[in-house]
Structure 1
């Protein structure tokens, strides 16, 4: 199974990913580590990324997801995945650029949408140190955010709850949807 932890900057993707990775023993792929250096520099200057800026990053994340799925591994991937089109690129790669109708999301891929209000997340972003994403850019992320729909294999999680409570809810989701190993 692949769980893509998504939401605007500062919503807790990396924190939840780290907790789940440790509890479950799943590999965690931190999406920010796949940004081209030009994207990091642009965000550090306070400039929002364009769709064109994000495309190589999303295609790299697609490769990571496909590699994990093909190996039969369970993994976590963090990515803002703000627009539905971005999520389709992550799932279907370059095919999402050429086709209007794509196959449904694979039953072994789920999105964990970390949802919270602007003031809470702005406070978190403003207080963190050493991250290239500045609080000034948060508004641009909320402006383009297209929350996932139920048919997108999504579990929406309220970030005002403790990370422990959120992780427990994810674990219950995994138990509900993870296929049981075949009996001998």
Structure 2
């Protein structure tokens, strides 16, 4: 199973993703590794990314997940995945811009083989976490735009929501339970 940890900046995607990958002995990749230099520079200047900026980045993550699947390997990846369209691209690539499309494609990841884990928390908690981060290209000033962009997963997606007001160990345990019951 591919596990994609999603949520706004500051929710703990990297920390949870690394802990989960270690616990399950799976490869881990952080979505930040896939950003272009241009995207990093834009965000570090306090400018939110546009969909046009994000699509190549999401496609790179999709290709990585496809490479794991083609080798029959599981993995853990982080990605903000804020919009349904973004999660659609993570599953299907950029061949179709319709997130409700049910067409099959050999590039498409099987919805049931991908679990989206939305790390969800209160804005105050997220802001506090972002204010404490050092040397990260994503400034705390972009949190409101991320919260405004966030579209919660719906019943067309394979997902769970986990509150970030739990310990990392508790969050990881909840995700493992969800994977085992999937």
Name the TM-score class by shorter chain. over 0.9
1:36 is the counterpart of 2:36: yes
Matched residues in 2 for 1:67 and 1:75: separation? 11
Structure 2 residues without counterparts, runs of 5 or longer: 105-109
Partner of 2:156: 151
TM-score norm. by structure 1 comes to 0.92
Matched residues in 1 for 2:31 and 2:93: separation? 16
TM-score norm. by structure 2 comes to 0.93
In the alignment, is the contact (CA less than 8 A) between 1:6 and 1:78 conserved in 2?
yes
Aligned residue pair count: 177
1:136 is the counterpart of 2:141: yes
Q: Deviations over 1:10-42 (max 9, x none)?
A: 100000011111111000011010001000000
Partner of 2:65: 65
Match of 2:127 among 122, 130, 137: 122
Matched residues in 1 for 2:100 and 2:24: separation? 36
Alpha carbons of structure 1 residues 99 and 49: separation in structure 2 relative to 1, 3 Å: closer
Alpha carbons of structure 1 residues 116 and 98: separation in structure 2 relative to 1, 3 Å: closer
Secondary structure, aligned partner of 2:48: coil
Query: How much is the aligned-residue C-alpha RMSD, in angstroms?
Result: 1.5
Structure 1 residues without counterparts, runs of 5 or longer: 178-184
Matched residues in 1 for 2:168 and 2:49: separation? 28
Tell me the CA shift for residue 99 of structure 1: 7.7
Secondary structure, aligned partner of 2:97: helix
Tell me the CA shift for residue 100 of structure 1: 5.8
Partner of 1:80: 80
